[in-house]
């Protein structure tokens, strides 16, 4: 939200990943490099198990798998385990933003709206209103 120009006070990063094995293997390697660990009592490797993700969604109403760093100043990283987007199409629509000296891929405003409309949370409804004002 912040990278799209909507100020937010929350310190988290939401990721939409391709949930195929090859991509998740690469993601898990990066989490080990960065020292990210699940904030819930679940092995991070279980993120690769479609049945486990389905159970989390159905029985725990989970929409994101939360990862934390040993550094308390670092943001939480939430991997969305369920979303309404076609990943390939959303990736093609992504926008690029510069953060310090790093180029970062960010979901398009339209895709952010689609993601936020699904949650039913008040904060997300407010975010959708802000995002609609930004949409050309």
For 65-81, the pLDDT digits (tens) are: 999 999 988 889 999 99
Stronger pLDDT, 91 or 9, i.e. the higher one: 91
In a domain, 118, yes or no: yes
CB half-sphere exposure, 57, CA atoms < 13 A: 15
- What pLDDT score does 9 carry? 67
- Domains in the chain, number: 2
Per-range mean pLDDT, top range of 3-12, 13-22, 120-129 = 13-22
Q: Which residue has the tokens 């308390």?
A: 72
According to DSSP, the residues that pair with 64 across neighbouring strands are 80
Stronger pLDDT, 6 or 88, i.e. the higher one: 88
In a domain, 90, yes or no: yes
Residue 88 and residue 53 share a domain: no
For residues 44, 8, 111, 132, the Cα torsion angle rounded to the nearest 10 degrees is 170
Domain with 115, as residue range(s), is 83-131
Which ranges of 10-99 would DSSP assign to H, the alpha helix?
Answer: 21-34, 50-60, 87-93
């Amino acid at each position: 939200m912040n990278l799209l120009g909507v100020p937010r006070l929350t310190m988290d990063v939401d990721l939409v990943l391709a949930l195929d094995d090859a991509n998740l293997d690469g993601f898990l390697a990066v989490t080990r490099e960065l020292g990210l660990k699940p904030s819930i009592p679940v092995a991070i490797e279980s993120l690769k198990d479609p049945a486990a993700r389905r159970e989390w969604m159905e029985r725990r109403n989970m929409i994101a798998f939360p990862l934390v760093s040993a550094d308390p100043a670092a943001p939480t990283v939430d991997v969305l385990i369920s979303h309404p987007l076609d990943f390939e199409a959303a990736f093609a629509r992504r926008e690029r933003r510069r953060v310090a000296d790093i180029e970062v891929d960010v979901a398009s405003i339209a895709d952010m709206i689609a993601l936020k409309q699904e949650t039913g949370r008040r904060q997300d409804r407010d975010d959708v209103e802000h995002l609609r004002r930004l949409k050309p």
